[in-house]
Amino acid sequence: MALRVGLIGDPVAHSLSPAFQQAALDALGIDARYARWHTAAADLPARFAALRAPDVLGANVTLPHKEAAFALVDDVTARAAAARAVNTVVSRDGRLLGDNTDIPGFLAPLGERGLDLPALDAVVLGAGGAARGVVVALLQRGCRSVTVANRRPERAAALIADLGAPPTARPAPLGASLAPALAAAGLLVNATSIGWQGDSLPLDATLLRALPPTALVYDLTYRETPLLRAAGALGLATLDGLRMLVCQGAESLRAWTGRAAPLDVMWSAALAARDGHA
């Protein structure tokens, strides 16, 4: 009987994870099936209880459940504890271990670009589960300062307080008052879900003009978004979230199977799936 693993979220129909995770499992010769497990918030406890079955390897967790997942596992890794958010669950002998592979996944493409984070100030848009992993990653890598901007700045302040972040992390509202932070930023990260559909941007497009010409605009959404198009039109460097998605997925696969992830296979499958969704 094939083992089971899947993606828990609401929604999940758009996800590319099944395409590249199944390709990786097949390449490794592991008899397992990766599925989309659409799960409403009310059904989350039952879904996690089902992960304890002996034929389940674990799961990935996506929006909007990463923070709730933290409370539904038995143990957490150090990086999940730091973010207080879980995007990967490993099922072992009926117990659930929560991890946060968003942290290394987010950092991987920045490392590939040779970005010197200790020399940079960063602005992160959003205050949800994805933003938590981003903020932790930036602080752990010694980013000079991190401004967390949200339409409700009290949520950004609560995130910073919950993470026990140092004074180099500070909250800010999304508006004209964000311009000075953007003017100093070498990195702007969109960790909101704005950009998946339609033409909406997570901040007013005119604010992008405040960024230095050397800044990188990084959107965790794994396609070209209105934010990335607007930034590119200004001549700014841009990065979408596909590489992060694949790299965090590779970390998850290693945790589930104990095997080295075939990253090239996963990347090719992710690109093909994204092109097919275009």
User: Could you give the CA distance from residue 153 to residue 173 in angstroms, rounded to a whole number?
Assistant: 5
Question: CB–CB of 97/90 below 8 Å?
Answer: yes
Q: How many other C-beta atoms can be found within 10 angstroms of the C-beta atom of residue 44?
A: 18
User: Which residue is associated with the tokens 């945790």?
Assistant: 255
User: Which residue is associated with the tokens 């994204």?
Assistant: 274
The catalytic residues are: 66
Question: CB–CB of 77/97 below 8 Å?
Answer: yes
User: Which residue is associated with the tokens 């730091």?
Assistant: 82
